Amino acid sequence: MIRRKTIPLLLLSLTLGGSAIHGQPMSLSACMDFAVSHSTEMRLSAADRSDERAEKVQAILGAFTPSVSAQSYAYNQYGRNLDPETNTYTDFTTFHNGYSISAGITLFDGFQAINKLRIAKVQQQMGLTQERQTADKVRLATMEAYYQVVYYDRLVEVLRLQATTADSALLKAQREEELGRKGHADVVQMESEQAQRQFQLTQAEGQLQQALLTLKETMCWPLDSSLSVSKTITKNENNNGNDNGNDNGNAFVLPSVQIAEAHLRQAQLQLQQARGAWSPSLSLNAGWSTTYYTYPDMAGYQPLPFREQWKNNGGEYVQLTLSIPIYSKGQHSLALSKSKNEVSRAQARLEQAQRERDNALCRARDEVATAQAAARQAERMAEVKQQAFLLAQRQYALGIITAIEYQTASQSFLTAEADSINAQLQLQLKQHQLNYYRTGKLL
């Protein structure tokens, strides 16, 4: 006999050839954490974050540090050339060896370097938000796969009880046929009922294994390793359906909206950067250089020692450069026009993201209210069908109804029980989704 009071509670323990981590079944929260930590998408996202950090460091160095370079050269000059010592022309081969070091820094560039640094910071923050969005998608997909496992496990539990009841009913029909109380048609009908329940049970067990395989794939769990999950699901009484819908949207901003806001800020900074390209730029450069020379084929020539030439031939310079853009073949104008258009697009995307956020929140509230009503009705229907099934059992035992009527009542109860399980789990899932839209947390 199936007792309705045992259905709302679940202790799920699925094991294929072993146990889970440390031999303990994994909760929904543990499954989601495992999925995030082993997700390929999260690994790719981590590489992107590393690039963004490097770009930010590069922007800081480009804005506040000078560029420094050193150079050395050596060459032989043949034929008529200028004597570096007397500044007169000679016909001797001259060996030149030079060393130099220079440094330069941009003092003003229309704030392009500063805006580049700001853009790098916005990109880094946007990347972190995208990473959180990716993690949330992985958690939600894991939750949906987890609930599929829960549903089919509950269905298998119900079908096993139904199959046991069908076995008992068949044995009873066979004994009553031997006593002459039932006809052979009743026995055949009970055999049909038993075969149907066994088929449904086998089918549900296969679906359970497929759901578990899907959960493994979502979690990036090794497919050849066992996975044991456990979760107690009870009817949620936290929300009675009287949701007034007063969500002001300020407590939590969805990552999609934050990303759209970051895109708008990035486009605005790029517009400022494009405008800065029209402004003059001022740079400061300084350097030092020295040379060493000798005449390899001049007989009797004794060059000054390297150390003395290093000192005597050394020189320094300081240069202040002012650059004023006058004509750039339309490049600056094109970049400015594209930046303005990108700002307009980013504003439109932000408005779209905000509208989608509001629609999703409103839809989630409605779906929770609908799921609550459906769960109550489905549970009530299952209770009524259970009573009808129990009554049909007694009536069939007394010979009041036929085997076909009994089978119809059994199938009706099974369908109502499956619908009730699905409705309750869908309510749980919808409530988690609504909680995410309100607080940013699925659990």
What are the residue ranges spanned by the domains of the chain?
A: 4-439
So what's the architecture of 4-439 in CATH?
Answer: Up-down Bundle (1.20)
Say if CB 215 and CB 31 are below 8 A apart: yes
Give 171-211 as a DSSP string. HHHHHHHHHTSS-HHHHHHHHHHHHHHHHHHHHHHHHHHHH
Q: Which two tokens stand for residue 124?
A: 């880094």
User: How far apart, in Å, are the Cα atoms of 113 and each of 65, 108, 277, 285?
Assistant: 11, 9, 11, 17
Q: Which two tokens stand for residue 231?
A: 């979760």
Say if CB 269 and CB 66 are below 8 A apart: no
Q: Which of 74, 17, 42 is nearest to 292 (CA)?
A: 74
Instruction: Identify the pLDDT of residue 239.
Output: 46
**pTM as predicted:** 0.77
Q: Which two tokens stand for residue 319?
A: 């240069």
Q: How far is CA 87 from the centre of its chain?
A: 71
Residues 6+ away with beta carbon under 8 Å from 229: 12, 13, 14, 20, 25, 26, 27, 28, 31, 146, 149, 215
Instruction: Identify the pLDDT of residue 175.
Output: 83
User: How far apart, in Å, are the Cα atoms of 67 and each of 9, 103, 171?
Assistant: 69, 5, 93
Residues 6+ away with beta carbon under 8 Å from 23: none
Q: Which two tokens stand for residue 169?
A: 């009913």
**Half-sphere exposure (Cβ direction) of 32: Cα atoms closer than 13 Å:** 20
- Scan for tokens 């839809």, then name that residue: 363
10-residue block means of pLDDT along the chain (443 residues)?
38 38 75 93 91 91 91 86 74 87 92 91 93 94 93 89 83 78 78 87 93 94 85 50 50 86 95 91 94 82 86 92 88 91 96 93 94 94 91 83 83 90 92 91 84
DSSP secondary structure code for residue 373 in this structure: H
